[in-house]
Amino acid sequence: MNFLSCLLAFLATAAAAAVSALSLSKKQHPLGTASFSGINFGYYYTFSAEDGDAVTYTNLDDGEYSMQWTDNSGYFIGGKGWNPGSAQQIFFDFFNITGYLAPPNGNNSLSIYGWTTDPLVEYRIIENLANDVNPALGLTLQGTVTSDGSVYQIYETRRVNATSITGIATFSQYWSIRQSTRSTGFVTIANHFNAWAAAGMPLGELGYQIVATEGHSGNGSAKVYVGSKPAGPCAAEYAQCGGEGFVGPTCCVSDTTCVVENEFYSQCLS
Ligand SMILES: *[C@@H]1O[C@H](CO)[C@@H](O)[C@H](O)[C@H]1NC(C)=O
Ligand SMILES: *[C@@H]1O[C@H](CO)[C@@H](O)[C@H](O)[C@H]1NC(C)=O
Ligand SMILES: *[C@@H]1O[C@H](CO)[C@@H](O)[C@H](O)[C@H]1NC(C)=O
Ligand SMILES: *[C@@H]1O[C@H](CO)[C@@H](O)[C@H](O)[C@H]1NC(C)=O
């Protein structure tokens, strides 16, 4: 089964999952469901899994999150980002990934993932993926774009009566697939949006946009940082870690936490 048919199978079960989400007994997440979203440290996050018992999504401080999955996890996707997204430049770091990109230990992709409405589009800028889940297998190359140190191949397909952010609908899926894969770096999203437009692949009004960990089966874990720039070293004890107009590190060295003094000043204290 390829990635698309797998996704389709997942989406077909999504409606059933929504019903069972009302029952709090089975799922381990506090929200009692394998599908949830919200705001954390100002970032939008969203998560869905076919089997909520086999996949755990955890929000960490600032732009960080972690995910863990075990065998028979089925299809899953989760991540942190923005809602709405934009044609911004972002920085991501998929660090401490275990059991990840090597089949047979699962098949996964790391991507910037988002949606637009009017037209309804689901898009991915894939930064890394396991070989056997190339989602564009068999599709026609629509063009290429060189950005952030690599060529990306552009593909498009159509999904009919599938689950979308607006319910069951027919919509386009766009991909930019990085040829020189990586696990960290800047992504200039505008370059992809422009290249898609030039290839006759228009976007609509931007919905959410996350740095996503997505996959199917296997055993693994990932810790992911999402932001507009690298986190850099954390602030030392007693150093400033936040406040209006502050551009330094907003994390604190271990054993200290960032304490808000007032709207202009936060400080790392133990
Ligand atoms: C991932 O790999 C497993 C095991 O090889 C396979 O059963 C599954 O269909 C694959 N999933 C996708 C999405 O291709
Ligand atoms: C990396 O993952 C391993 C195994 O899950 C864990 O023991 C370790 O604490 C993690 N390290 C960091 C920095 O998160
Ligand atoms: C999609 O849904 C429409 C409206 O319900 C229906 O007429 C059409 O046959 C469906 N197409 C497929 C391929 O299922
Ligand atoms: C995942 O871990 C379980 C238990 O350790 C093991 O039985 C299974 O073979 C592993 N699956 C993969 C795909 O590595």
Neighbour order of strands in the sheet with 121-129: 35-40, 43-49, 75-82, 205-216, 107-117, 121-129, 167-178, 150-164, 143-147
Task: Calculate how far, in angstroms, residue 3's C-alpha sits from the geometric centre of ligand 3.
Answer: 22
CB-CB neighbours of 128 under 10 Å: 18
Model confidence band, residue 100 (pLDDT cutoffs 50, 70, 90): low
Pocket test for ligand 3, best of 160, 164, 170, 171 (most atoms within 8 A of CB): 160
Quote the strand ranges of the chain, DSSP E.
Answer: 35-40, 43-49, 55-59, 64-69, 75-82, 89-98, 107-117, 121-129, 143-147, 150-164, 167-178, 184-188, 205-216, 220-227, 240-242, 257-262, 265-269
d(CA 51, CA 201): 33
Same domain (yes/no): 48, 109: yes
Task: Calculate how far, in angstroms, residue 53's C-alpha sits from the geometric centre of ligand 1.
Answer: 18
Same domain (yes/no): 187, 122: yes
Instruction: Please state the atom number of ligand 2 nearest to the C-alpha of residue 66.
Output: 14
pLDDT of residue 99: 66
Model confidence band, residue 219 (pLDDT cutoffs 50, 70, 90): confident
pLDDT mean over 100-107: 54
DSSP per-residue letters across 30-68: TTSSSEEEEEETTEEEEEEES-TTTEEEEE-STTEEEEE
pLDDT of residue 60: 94
pLDDT of residue 196: 98
Q: Which domain holds residue 253?
A: 233-270
Same domain (yes/no): 260, 165: no
Pocket test for ligand 1, best of 101, 105, 217 (most atoms within 8 A of CB): 217
pLDDT of residue 152: 97
Catalytic residues: 122, 214
Closest CA to 216 of 128, 104, 68, 107: 107
**What does the pLDDT look like over 233-266, one tens digit per residue?**
788 999 998 888 777 777 788 888 889 999 999 9
Same domain (yes/no): 80, 208: yes
pLDDT mean over 25-38: 54
Residue 44 scores a pLDDT above 60: yes
Residue nearest atom 1 of ligand 2, based on CA coordinates: 96
Same domain (yes/no): 135, 249: no
CATH number at residue 139: 2.60.120.180
Number of domains within the chain: 2
Instruction: Please state the atom number of ligand 4 nearest to the C-alpha of residue 219.
Output: 1
Model confidence band, residue 73 (pLDDT cutoffs 50, 70, 90): confident
Q: Which of 12-16, 163-167, 258-262 has the lowest mean pLDDT?
A: 12-16
Q: Which of 83-87, 131-135, 216-220, 228-232 has the lowest mean pLDDT?
A: 131-135
Same domain (yes/no): 31, 97: yes
Same domain (yes/no): 184, 239: no
Q: In degrees, to the nearest 5, what angle opens at C-alpha 149 toward C-alphas 144 and 155?
A: 25
Same domain (yes/no): 126, 188: yes
Same domain (yes/no): 40, 157: yes
Pocket test for ligand 2, best of 61, 95, 96, 224 (most atoms within 8 A of CB): 96
Which ligand is closest to the CA of 71, given by its number?
4
- Ramachandran bin of 221, using left for φ above 0, alpha for ψ from -120 to 50, beta for the remaining angles: beta
Residue 27's identity, in one-letter code, is K
- pLDDT > 90: percent of the chain: 51
Same domain (yes/no): 90, 205: yes
270 lines ligand 2 (CB under 6 A): no
pLDDT mean over 87-94: 92
Same domain (yes/no): 219, 259: no
Instruction: Please state the atom number of ligand 3 nearest to the C-alpha of residue 168.
Output: 2
Residue 16 scores a pLDDT above 70: no
**What does the pLDDT look like over 49-59, one tens digit per residue?**
887 788 999 99
pLDDT of residue 130: 66
Residue 2's identity, in one-letter code, is N
